[in-house]
Amino acid sequence: MKKILVTGALGQIGTELVVKMREIYGNENVIATNRSSRDGHILVETGVFEELDVTDAQSVHDLCKKHNVDTIIHMAALLSATAENNPLLAWNINMGGLMNTLEVARELNCKFFTPSSIGAFGPSSPKVNTPQDTIQRPTTMYGVNKVAGELLCDYYFHKFGVDTRGVRFPGLISYAQEPGGGTTDYAVTIFYEALKHKKYTSYIGAGTYMDMMYMPDAVNSIIDLMEADPAKLKHRNAFNVTAMSFEPEQIAAEIRKHIPEFTMDYDVDPMRQAIANSWPDSIDPSAAIEEWGFKVEYDLPKMTADMLAQLKAKGIK
């Protein structure tokens, strides 16, 4: 990768991904784009930034050509809970934006990455150690978008030879960017509330296991996959990746090791709980390990310690 354009760069993943990529590839070689700018945002202040609406196909094409891009990292999307509240908008952004960026990748011969999600699985998928290749019948608009996106990326590889790659992310936990409307966001908000108020009310019920990953591991997985030897990639798109699986009581217990007075109660949100119930408890990342050496550094205890330390350093207390 020499000249990289990232859509949705001011979102949860994009913020940390662009910072890391700029360290590796140079500030001038990683173009951050977002539908709107934000004054003072680190990505706007430290390198090339452009406003971009991914539903505008011509704008996507013109911007990639302007910067002589050879790699597109497509992150712009509406997340699961937000998508359920506005399914038509989710379809237009998630699928329209994906189609537009894939077309530009085809026209300009760019490498292409977009993330899928554990949301691509559904109630009929195996719940424990969910395989790489298994039944996928999601019951959310977000999940439908993700399955369609996985198939579309495969199609562009087989039909047009576009070098498409992707992973199925679990819930992602980050200190750099606040949550953006996902079902797993409770596992980020809980840290803010623990530091600010020493208590948290979870909208996800006790005993609800979901796969999670700390953002530094997620960012590294994108870069590792994009730098991997394409000849070794049998699946290319939608690799299962994960670092840990836990339920709310377990993360609360880990936080209490650092904040003993922390308490948690529940006010379950039926919509987000239904989404969580449709997802796997744990997934099998063996294909990613075998095909491109996927690995993680953070488990639940190590992530909890770092997350609290980083938020304190940001002044959250």
User: Looking at the annotation, which residues are catalytic?
Assistant: 142
Task: Give the C-alpha distances (Å, rounded to integers) separating 12 from 175, 179, 248.
Answer: 9, 7, 21
Hey, how many other C-beta atoms are within 10 angstroms of the C-beta on 259?
14
Q: Residue 168 is inside which H or E element, if any?
A: strand 167-169
Hey, how many other C-beta atoms are within 10 angstroms of the C-beta on 65?
12
Q: What angle do CA 74, 80, 82 make, to 5 degrees?
A: 100
Hey, how many other C-beta atoms are within 10 angstroms of the C-beta on 58?
9
Q: Which residues pair with 6 in a beta bridge?
A: 32, 73
Q: What b/e string do you get for 205-244 counting C-beta neighbours within 10 Å, with b at 16 or more? A: beebbbbbbbbbbbbbbbbebbebeeeebebbbbbbbbbb
Q: For the chain, where are the alpha helices, taking DSSP H only?
A: 12-25, 42-46, 57-66, 80-85, 87-108, 141-160, 186-197, 215-227, 248-256, 270-277, 286-292, 300-313
Tokens of 6: 């990232």
Helix, strand, or coil (residue 74): strand
**What distance, in Å, lies between the first and last C-alpha atoms of the chain?**
40
DSSP assignment, residue 283?
B
Specify whether the CB–CB gap between 173 and 303 falls below 8 A. Answer: yes
**What φ, ψ does residue 246 adopt, rounded to 5°?**
-150, 165
